[in-house]
């Protein structure tokens, strides 16, 4: 089956410095995403087109849905379970308090309802301070992997196998874990060249193709599980950061982008950088799972 995609359409010119963490919540008919640097959660209801911005007190890498208005936020030095409606914090789980310059970056829920997320050095120095973690349904934290510059992804093939990225190394890894969250196998799945930019957020469709955002590469590439590129979507934005399937038929892709690090000339060339985009496609995504407690 050939992949067909529409032209990317701006649905919110949000001018995000570092748009990230796209999340589709079917019960809300809404796409959520964050602006890490502006400490904002942005939400757009695609049925009535209502937009909402929620300010948080720390830089935020992602949010994941639990139920109703309850979400889990990936913040600098903590995971926070919060009711976004009344702003009540239900639980705070400290992360890497001993590395104050680190922050949580990307995070996603796997097919078993577990939360996978990574950390990174916030000033983005050349140090491998980032780690990969999993939060299980008993709220236990498992440290799964270490020595990353900039963690990104994750995207899940099945309950034991997933992809995870180190953006600075321009490498996507394929990782297999056992029941004790130990890595049994880790291989290089893809390595980007300089002209491709860096691999950033990604998602997997119902046919197990991987849709990878190119930070600095102005596109999304689609690969099959053998690592062969089978499709490409060009964007009028330079830094493509994160993507997720959603929409009422689950055949739309929502894509966040970023203005971070762009020169005036680049902004002139890629005028729509920092926007939230939508693409229609002939392939469905995998229904998002909420976090299971």
- Residues 74-122: pLDDT tens digits? 999 999 999 999 999 999 999 999 999 999 999 999 999 999 999 999 9
Percent of the chain with pLDDT over 70: 100
Q: Is 170 exposed, middle or buried (0-12, 13-18, 19+ CB in 10 A)?
A: middle
Interval 141-154: pLDDT, tens: 999 999 999 999 99
103/184 Cα distance (integer angstroms): 27
Quickly list DSSP for 5-63: BPPPEEEE----SSEEEEEEEGGGTEEEEEETTTTEEEEEETTT--EEEEE-SS-EEEE
Distances (CA, A) of 101 to 70, 76, 116: 28, 9, 20
Query: In the predicted model, what is the mean pLDDT of residues 123-137?
Result: 98
pLDDT at residue 58, as a whole number: 98
Is 152 annotated to bind a ligand? Reply is yes
Query: In the predicted model, what is the mean pLDDT of residues 180-189?
Result: 98
Six-digit token pair at 78?
Answer: 């903590």
pLDDT at residue 290, as a whole number: 97
Query: In the predicted model, what is the mean pLDDT of residues 280-284?
Result: 98
Is 200 annotated to bind a ligand? Reply is yes
pLDDT at residue 1, as a whole number: 85
Report strand pairing: 252-258 vs 239-246. antiparallel
pLDDT at residue 250, as a whole number: 96
Query: What is the overall mean pLDDT for the chain?
Result: 97
Quickly list DSSP for the chain: ----BPPPEEEE----SSEEEEEEEGGGTEEEEEETTTTEEEEEETTT--EEEEE-SS-EEEEEEEETTEEEEEETTEEEEEETTTTEEEEEEE--TT-TTEEEEEEEE-TTS-EEEEEEETT--S---EEEEEE-TT--EEEEEEEESBEEEEEESSSSEEEEEETTTTEEEEEEE-TTS-EEEEEEEEE--GGG-EEEEEEEBTT--EEEEEETTTEEEEE-TTS-EEEEEE-SSSEEEEEEEESTTS-EEEEEEE-TT--HHHHHHTTTTT-EEEEEBSS-BPPPPPPP-
Task: Judge whether 32 and 23 are in contact, CB under 8 Å.
Answer: yes
Q: Which residues are catalytic?
A: 200
Percent of the chain with pLDDT over 90: 99
Six-digit token pair at 136?
Answer: 């299980």
Q: Is the pLDDT of residue 185 over 90?
A: yes
Is 105 annotated to bind a ligand? Reply is yes
Query: In the predicted model, what is the mean pLDDT of residues 261-281?
Result: 98
Residues near 12 by beta carbon (within 8 Å), at least 6 away in sequence:
42, 44, 51, 275, 276
Q: What structural domains and CATH numbers belong to the chain?
A: 9-280 (2.120.10.30)
Taking Cα atoms as reference points, which of 59, 65, 51 lies closest to residue 34?
59
Q: Is the pLDDT of residue 287 over 90?
A: no
Q: Is the pLDDT of residue 288 over 90?
A: no
pLDDT at residue 161, as a whole number: 98
Task: Judge whether 99 and 88 are in contact, CB under 8 Å.
Answer: no
Kindly report the pTM of this predicted structure.
0.98
192/26 Cα distance (integer angstroms): 33
Query: In the predicted model, what is the mean pLDDT of residues 176-183?
Result: 97
């Amino acid at each position: 089956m050939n992949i067909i995609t529409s032209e990317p359409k701006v649905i919110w010119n949000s001018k995000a410095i570092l748009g990230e963490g796209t999340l589709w919540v079917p019960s809300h008919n809404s796409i959520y995403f964050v602006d890490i640097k502006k400490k904002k959660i942005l939400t757009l209801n695609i049925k009535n087109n209502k937009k909402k911005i929620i300010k948080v007190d720390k830089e935020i890498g992602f949010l994941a849905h639990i139920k109703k208005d309850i979400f889990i936020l990936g913040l600098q030095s903590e995971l926070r379970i919060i009711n976004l409606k009344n702003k009540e914090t239900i639980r705070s789980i400290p992360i890497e308090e001993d590395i104050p310059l680190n922050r949580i970056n990307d995070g996603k829920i796997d097919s078993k309802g577990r939360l996978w997320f990574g950390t990174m050095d916030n000033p983005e120095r050349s140090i491998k301070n980032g780690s990969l973690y999993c939060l299980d349904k008993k709220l236990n934290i498992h440290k799964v992997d270490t020595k990353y510059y900039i963690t990104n992804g994750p995207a899940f093939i099945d309950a034991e196998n997933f992809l995870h990225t180190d953006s600075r190394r321009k490498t996507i890894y394929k990782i297999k874990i056992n029941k004790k969250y130990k890595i049994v196998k880790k291989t290089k799945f893809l390595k980007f060249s300089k002209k491709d930019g860096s691999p950033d957020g990604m998602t997997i469709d119902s046919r197990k193709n991987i849709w990878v955002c190119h930070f600095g590469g102005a596109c999304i590439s689609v690969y099959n599980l053998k690592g062969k590129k089978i499709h490409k979507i060009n964007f009028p934005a330079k830094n493509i950061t994160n993507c997720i399937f959603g929409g009422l038929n689950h055949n739309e892709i929502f894509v966040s982008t970023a203005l971070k690090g762009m020169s005036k000339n680049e902004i002139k060339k890629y005028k729509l950088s920092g926007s939230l985009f939508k693409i229609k496609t002939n392939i469905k995504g995998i229904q998002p799972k909420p976090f299971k407690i």
